[in-house]
Structure 1
Amino acid sequence: MLSLPKEVTIIEVGPRDGLQNEKNFVPTEVKLQFIKKLSSAGIEEMELTSFVSPKWVPQMQDATEIVKSNPDILRKIVLAPNRKGVDRALETGCQAIAVFVGVSNSFNKRNINKSTRESLEELKPVIAELKKKNIFVRACISTAFYCPFEGKISESDTISLCNEFVTAGVDELSVADTIGMANPLESFSLFSALKEQLPNVLLNAHFHDTRKMALANIYAALQAGVNRFDTSAGGLGGCPFAPGATGNVATEDVVYMLERMGINTGIDLDKLVEAIDIVSPVLSRKIESGFYQLSKKKV
């Protein structure tokens, strides 16, 4: 008998993770309209933007303006990779901050020019300070399954890094298949182990759909007890520091699958499509998610 949750929480990452690798600069007003429509669709937790160097990620140069627009979302998350980014985020009044580290040293060095251990040690005191300020802290664990430079990542290494972040005090783990190479058996194995070892932390699964395995991996994670998933409207995304990484799994495809399975998400699919319609005209690539394409054909 299948063991599946009755409800699932979707964390929308389109405005941040989805747009960060977009070649065209998406106008700030379009981003704000996109965020507003996603909120109206029922999204209550969202990655809005990231406080990173505009030199390396030009798309996020309007981070302060995005946050100060104060969108009506229950949990407004911003990404901040280091102390400088955290300080900028705090200046805007952010109450939820995401930090990130790759399990792979090679990926981490290419991404933020530090080893995994160096990043972790730098972040530990920052996390402690944020918790003293009652800030919600989300840790994004990149290359949790595979790395574009090192290949397969040891499950024990991923679990060890997650444990260290939880010991440091984070509220949430977002565990990512950054280049979309995981299979359902690997998904079930890792998330089962994490649910068993870390029962008191919010655990999110974050899948990229590079090889069209994301929905299968989500199904496996559901059976492992996961009920929180990072998704991106329109399947937007990719990582500028991970060759071969394509978009995140599409929010609309995940919501459609879950709702058809009798799992409540609280998200309105029609309004989700309207949100994608807002941003798609300014993108450099076509929206290819299954549900979105069918919605345009009125099937």
Structure 2
Amino acid sequence: MRAEHAAGVRHFELGSFLPADRFPQFADLRDLLDAAASMKAMHKIVLALNERGIDDAIASDTDEITCVVSATDEHSLANSRRTRQQAVALVRKAAEAARSSEHRPITNAGIAMAFGCSIAGQVDQSDVLRLAETCMAAGADMVSIADTVGYAGPRQVASLCDEMVKLCDDRPFCVHLHDTRGTGIANAAAALDHGARVLDGALGGLGGCPFAPGATGNVVFEDLVYLCERMGFETGIDLDRLSEARGIAKCALPDEPFFGALARSGPPLNLDWRAGAA
């Protein structure tokens, strides 16, 4: 985290407030939040998957609370034992708690399976848009649309982003992509071309999804930074220093697969590829 921050990264999703005995990977979340609080201009994001998680998130002085709302009841029940209606109620509780708190964190409703569900199959775009509108009416400051299992193609991403721009107006929305079937960067380019300005990525493509066996994590962050710069969006991120952060992560996680085209080839050496270059 410190190495990525030194590279210019400022938004970090740090983990979920869940019981450490069942989810030991999140046992040090409070330590991470404490460390992040000492870093300049950090935007700290946590997931709150239940009422206790909301309380813990508010107490932690995080900057953003994400609640997951699935686009299908089938996935929602399998993932959280909640219906979509109950998941929206959790968004409402998070938004109310955030508004009442001194720190006033952002409430983000993350719509999982927005481009297709590994359990229910096809997901209609109109259903996703209605759900996004419902979440905003419940108090969400922003909405994320997630290709949780990597089903989307650029055309689907472009179409949904066009509609999200209309729906959200001046509110930001986030696009959360996985590269499970090799379309992650193409989908990110489509999202940027069609109004998205916030995208999720993971260093080295780390991660996965329990509902998509063999899935990779989010789009490789290093590749995403390069894409943004080549498309004219200044990220403020130093790719050389980001590569150093990747090296630290690889040493810490020697058994995990790391992905990324930029890690193999590097950026062009004979032209200025950064945003704003002639």
Partner of 2:265: 294
Partner of 2:276: none
Residue pairs, 1:138-149, within 5 angstroms:
138-149=108-119
Residue pairs, 1:159-178, within 5 angstroms:
159-178=129-148
Query: SS of the residue aligned with 2:250?
Result: helix
Q: Distance in 2 between matches of 1:197 and 1:215?
A: 24
Q: Deviations over 1:98-123 (max 9, x none)?
A: 11111121211121111111221233
Aligned mate of 1:77, from 39, 45, 51: 45
Q: Deviations over 1:155-211 (max 9, x none)?
A: 111111111111122222121100111011100111101111211221111110001
Q: Distance in 2 between matches of 1:136 and 1:125?
A: 13
Residue pairs, 1:186-205, within 5 angstroms:
186-205=156-175
Q: Does the 8 Å contact 2:113/2:149 carry over to 1?
A: yes
Partner of 1:67: 33
Residue pairs, 1:6-85, within 5 angstroms:
35-69=1-35, 70-72=37-39, 73-85=41-53
Q: Distance in 2 between matches of 1:261 and 1:100?
A: 30
Q: Distance in 1 between matches of 2:76 and 2:21?
A: 18
Identity among equivalent pairs (%): 34
Q: Deviations over 1:214-258 (max 9, x none)?
A: 111111111211111111111111123444432110111011122
Q: Distance in 1 between matches of 2:18 and 2:211?
A: 14
Seen in structure 2, the aligned counterparts of structure 1 residues 258 and 194 have a Cα distance that, compared at 3 Å, is same
Partner of 2:81: 113
2:245 matched to 1:275? yes
The letter of the residue matching 1:43 is: V
Q: Which protein has greater RCO, CA pairs closer than 8 Å, 6+ apart? A: 1
Q: Distance in 1 between matches of 2:97 and 2:118?
A: 33
Q: Distance in 1 between matches of 2:214 and 2:128?
A: 21
Q: Does the 8 Å contact 1:148/1:244 carry over to 2?
A: no
Query: Which consecutive unaligned segments of at least 5 residues does structure 2 have?
Result: 271-278
Aligned mate of 2:124, from 129, 154, 158: 154
Q: Distance in 2 between matches of 1:90 and 1:274?
A: 33
| TM-score normalised by L of structure 2 | 0.89
| TM-score normalised by L of structure 1 | 0.83
Residue pairs, 1:214-233, within 5 angstroms:
214-233=184-203
Q: Distance in 2 between matches of 1:120 and 1:262?
A: 36
